[in-house]
């Protein structure tokens, strides 16, 4: 298929592009390089440096490329920042998605895949969290994805655009050629690896008084390659399904302290750590029940072991200590 990928120069999007190309699809990456890296874009993909705020541009690219499907990765995605700057999320994330969906409809696109988030579930009644859990966004970021999911629901019902909402838990790990390189970096695993690389003195643990076994937040870390594979399966499944909603994780919870301990094991570095205040917008525990996508699409994560996920990230960060600029 001809797939337009927004955010295809970013951490998750660039790996999905590699998987799409590996599966024989034609890809156009549309990315403003605000967070992404030109070097991360597969050379077999067409690249357009573009901004979703520019309606004319996305309409032109969508129709010229004759897209049949869209994968929408491009988004502001930081929980903490969204609490500081809510309108960047509730405004820009939402209006950019509306521009993209509109362009998709204008070009006759049939399938749309949205990167959604576990931050929809701030107050889960049942852990692991299934798709039937009530939606209570934990932050303006989570709310922006909730709004976009709801827009897609209405557009599906009224205009027939088939869509999949993939709620990622914590994307982690690297492939041999694609890694995590954000400026500024705010994510736990790359930050802890920066300590191991000697680029940072210590890791700050955001909150040690959560209602979890060791008092630090528990997350479900899922390898980017497994996330990418879920996108390929969802793309195929939209041939016959009008709406798909899936929670995507490994189903195993790891606390911040568990992650730091695993990095110590993998790198052999002592990783000094210090507990500080909680970060606003962080739920205590997010672990996915992904049995629905396993059952319905046959998705099978390949990287289920935390040590190997961190090893894959460590390999990439050692090879690219300054990120893509190395
Ligand atoms: N975290 C932390 N110290 C850091 C960065 C993150 O303790 O320097 C915690 C954060 O509060 C959360 C977990 O690590 O509980 C994962 O955070 P990350 O930003 O990697 O992903 P998110 O859960 O926001 O998607």
In this structure, what are the phi and psi dihedrals at residue 218, rounded to the nearest 5 degrees? -105, 130
pLDDT of 241: 98
119 CA distance to ligand 1 middle (Å): 12
Q: Is 141 a residue of the active site?
A: yes
- Helical H runs in the chain? 11-22, 55-65, 79-84, 86-87, 94-106, 140-159, 188-196, 224-237, 256-267, 291-297, 306-319
What is the reported pTM? 0.96
Residue 51 lies in a domain: yes
Q: Are residues 158 and 257 in the same domain?
A: no
Q: What is the mean pLDDT of the chain?
A: 97
182 CA distance to ligand 1 middle (Å): 14
Residue 297 lies in a domain: no
Kindly state the average pLDDT of the residues 47-66. Answer: 98
pLDDT of 213: 97
Ligand 1: residue of 119, 187, 253, 281 to mutate (most ligand atoms within 8 A of CB) is 187
**Residues 6 or more apart in contact with residue 40 via CB below 8 angstroms:** 9, 10, 14, 178, 181, 324
Protein residue closest via CA to atom 6 of ligand 1: 188
Nearest 5°: CA angle at 53, between 49 and 59? Answer: 70
Nearest 5°: CA angle at 79, between 37 and 111? Answer: 60
* Predicted confidence (pLDDT) at residue 152 exceeds the cutoff of 90: yes
pLDDT digits (tens, 9 = 90+) for 200-227: 999 999 999 999 999 999 999 999 999 9
Residue 24 lies in a domain: yes
Protein residue closest via CA to atom 21 of ligand 1: 187
315 CA distance to ligand 1 middle (Å): 21
pLDDT of 277: 97
Protein residue closest via CA to atom 20 of ligand 1: 187
pLDDT of 178: 97
Residue 32 lies in a domain: yes
In order of 123, 210, 254, 266, 269, the CA distances from 262 in angstroms are 28, 20, 10, 6, 10
pLDDT digits (tens, 9 = 90+) for 221-262: 999 999 999 999 999 999 999 999 999 999 999 999 999 999
Pairwise CA distance, residues 9 & 36, whole Å: 5
Pairwise CA distance, residues 147 & 168, whole Å: 16
Protein residue closest via CA to atom 11 of ligand 1: 206
79 CA distance to ligand 1 middle (Å): 9
Which residues form the pocket of ligand 1, taking CB atoms under 6 Å from any ligand atom?
79, 170, 186-188, 191, 203-206, 217, 219, 256, 279, 282
Residue numbers of the domain that contains 147: 2-171+222-248
* Predicted confidence (pLDDT) at residue 25 exceeds the cutoff of 90: yes
CATH number at residue 200: 3.90.25.10
Q: In what order do the strands lie in the sheet with 285-286?
A: 254-255, 218-219, 285-286
* Predicted confidence (pLDDT) at residue 274 exceeds the cutoff of 90: yes
* Predicted confidence (pLDDT) at residue 13 exceeds the cutoff of 90: yes
Residue 208 lies in a domain: yes
106 CA distance to ligand 1 middle (Å): 39
- CA neighbor of 181 nearest in space, from 19, 326, 5: 326
Q: Are residues 20 and 166 in the same domain?
A: yes
pLDDT of 281: 79
Contact in structure between 7 and 34 (CB atoms under 8 Å): no
217 CA distance to ligand 1 middle (Å): 8
pLDDT digits (tens, 9 = 90+) for 174-197: 999 999 999 999 999 999 999 999
Q: Are residues 44 and 123 in the same domain?
A: yes
Total domain count for the chain?
2
pLDDT of 282: 87
The ligand 1 atom nearest the CA atom of 119: 25
pLDDT of 283: 87
Pairwise CA distance, residues 139 & 83, whole Å: 6
* Predicted confidence (pLDDT) at residue 97 exceeds the cutoff of 90: yes
Q: Are residues 158 and 195 in the same domain?
A: no
CATH number at residue 17: 3.40.50.720
Selecting among 141, 163, 210, 221, the annotated active-site residue is 141
Pairing of strands 162-168, 111-117: parallel
pLDDT band at 150 (very low <50, low <70, confident <90, very high): very high
Q: Are residues 136 and 181 in the same domain?
A: no
Burial of residue 163 (CB within 10 Å: 0-12, 13-18, 19+) is buried
Contact in structure between 131 and 164 (CB atoms under 8 Å): no
Token look-up 């935390």 returns: 306
Pairwise CA distance, residues 277 & 197, whole Å: 25
Pairwise CA distance, residues 47 & 28, whole Å: 6
Protein residue closest via CA to atom 23 of ligand 1: 170
Residue 16 lies in a domain: yes
Residue 296 lies in a domain: no
pLDDT band at 280 (very low <50, low <70, confident <90, very high): confident
pLDDT of 326: 82
Pairing of strands 2-6, 69-72: parallel
Kindly state the average pLDDT of the residues 89-108. Answer: 98
Kindly state the average pLDDT of the residues 146-173. Answer: 98
pLDDT digits (tens, 9 = 90+) for 293-325: 999 999 999 998 999 999 999 999 999 999 998
Q: Are residues 95 and 240 in the same domain?
A: yes
Q: Are residues 19 and 46 in the same domain?
A: yes
Residue 90 lies in a domain: yes
Contact in structure between 280 and 83 (CB atoms under 8 Å): yes
Token look-up 């190997």 returns: 308
Protein residue closest via CA to atom 14 of ligand 1: 188
């Amino acid at each position: 298929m001809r797939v337009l990928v927004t955010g295809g120069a970013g951490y998750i999007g660039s790996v999905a592009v590699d998987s799409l190309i590996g599966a024989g699809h034609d890809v156009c990456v549309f990315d403003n390089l605000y967070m992404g890296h030109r070097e991360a874009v597969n050379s077999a993909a067409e690249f357009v440096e573009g901004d979703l705020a520019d309606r004319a541009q996305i309409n032109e690219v969508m129709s010229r490329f004759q897209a049949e499907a869209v994968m929408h990765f491009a988004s502001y995605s930081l929980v903490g920042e969204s609490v500081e700057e809510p309108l960047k999320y509730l405004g820009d994330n939402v209006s950019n998605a509306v521009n993209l969906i509109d362009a998709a409809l204008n070009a006759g696109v049939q399938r749309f895949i949205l990167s959604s988030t576990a931050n929809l579930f701030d107050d889960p009644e049942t852990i692991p969290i299934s798709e039937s859990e009530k939606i209570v966004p934990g932050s303006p970021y989570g709310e922006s994805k909730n709004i976009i999911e709801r827009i897609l629901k209405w557009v599906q019902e009224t205009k027939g655009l088939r869509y999949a909402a993939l709620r990622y838990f914590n994307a982690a790990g690297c492939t041999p050629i694609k890694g995590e390189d954000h400026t500024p970096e705010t994510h736990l695993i790359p930050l802890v690896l920066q300590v191991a690389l000697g680029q940072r003195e210590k890791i700050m643990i955001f909150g040690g008084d959560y209602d979890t076994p060791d008092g630090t937040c528990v997350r479900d870390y899922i390898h980017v390659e497994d996330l990418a594979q879920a996108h390929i399966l969802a793309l195929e499944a939209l041939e016959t399904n009008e709406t798909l909603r899936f929670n995507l994780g490994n189903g195993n919870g790891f606390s911040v302290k568990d992650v730091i301990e695993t990095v110590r094991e993998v790198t052999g570095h002592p990783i000094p750590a210090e507990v500080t205040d909680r970060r606003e917008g962080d739920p205590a525990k997010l672990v996915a029940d992904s049995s629905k996508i396993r059952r319905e699409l046959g998705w099978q994560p390949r990287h289920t072991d935390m040590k190997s996920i961190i090893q894959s990230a460590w390999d990439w960060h050692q090879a690219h200590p300054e990120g893509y600029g190395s």
